[in-house]
Homo-oligomer: A and B are copies of this chain.
């Protein structure tokens, strides 16, 4: 459908501005309360331009969600890194994971998307694939390797990954999602504590 002889290219800067403005609007007030006219105004773009590129509100929302998923994929793929000391590695991972999960960007995304999945279940799947499932797979692989190397006892690596994830996260998630405050500050010792308990539970 792309016209062959484009005598005037699409203004990509405007496209990005639209997506940015849409993201802000959607995550600020939620899908239902979001206004395309406000988005157009914030992006300094005519409303018609938006309708020319995205057929309507739902499409625009989809585009925003996909963009955020892409960012999440990128962020998750570079989470588990160094490998000198196993314990230190786990602590570093836990630290960066908690930092990621408690970031305002992720929290807003999470909160707003959760409210829409009853209407658009496929977006839930999209989100799961882009974030949690990727992280899950990475952790599972790391656990399998750790068992291979004798760092921890042999067991179902998926279950071990689930335990590690859970013990590090603990109570924090609910607090972050529903508390506007940061009374649950990122405590480094807390992570080390959880990792040590995990290592004891999985001692070879």
* Interface flag for A204 (CB, 8 Å): no
Q: Is the CB of A197 within 8 A of B193?
A: no
Q: Is the CB of A197 within 8 A of B190?
A: no
CA–CA, A86 and B76, complex, Å: 38
Total number of A residues with any Cβ neighbor in B under 8 Å: 48
Contact of A163 among B29, B32, B115, B170 (CB under 8 A): B170
Knowing A163-B170, A166-B171, A200-B200 are in contact, say whether A178-B32 is a contact too (CB < 8 A): no
* Interface flag for A33 (CB, 8 Å): yes
Decide if the interface of chain A is mainly helix, strand, loop or mixed.
helix
Knowing A29-B32, A32-B30, A173-B173 are in contact, say whether A117-B180 is a contact too (CB < 8 A): yes
* Interface flag for A88 (CB, 8 Å): no
* Interface flag for A113 (CB, 8 Å): yes
Q: Is the CB of A114 within 8 A of B166?
A: no
A residues engaging B (CB < 8 A)?
28-30, 32-33, 108, 110-115, 117-118, 121, 124-125, 127-128, 132, 136, 159, 161-163, 165-171, 173-175, 177-180, 190, 193-194, 197-198, 200-203
Inter-chain pairs besides A32-B33, A200-B200, 15 sampled, C-beta below 8 Å:
A30-B30, A110-B114, A111-B118, A114-B115, A114-B178, A117-B180, A128-B179, A159-B170, A162-B170, A163-B194, A163-B197, A165-B166, A166-B166, A173-B173, A201-B201
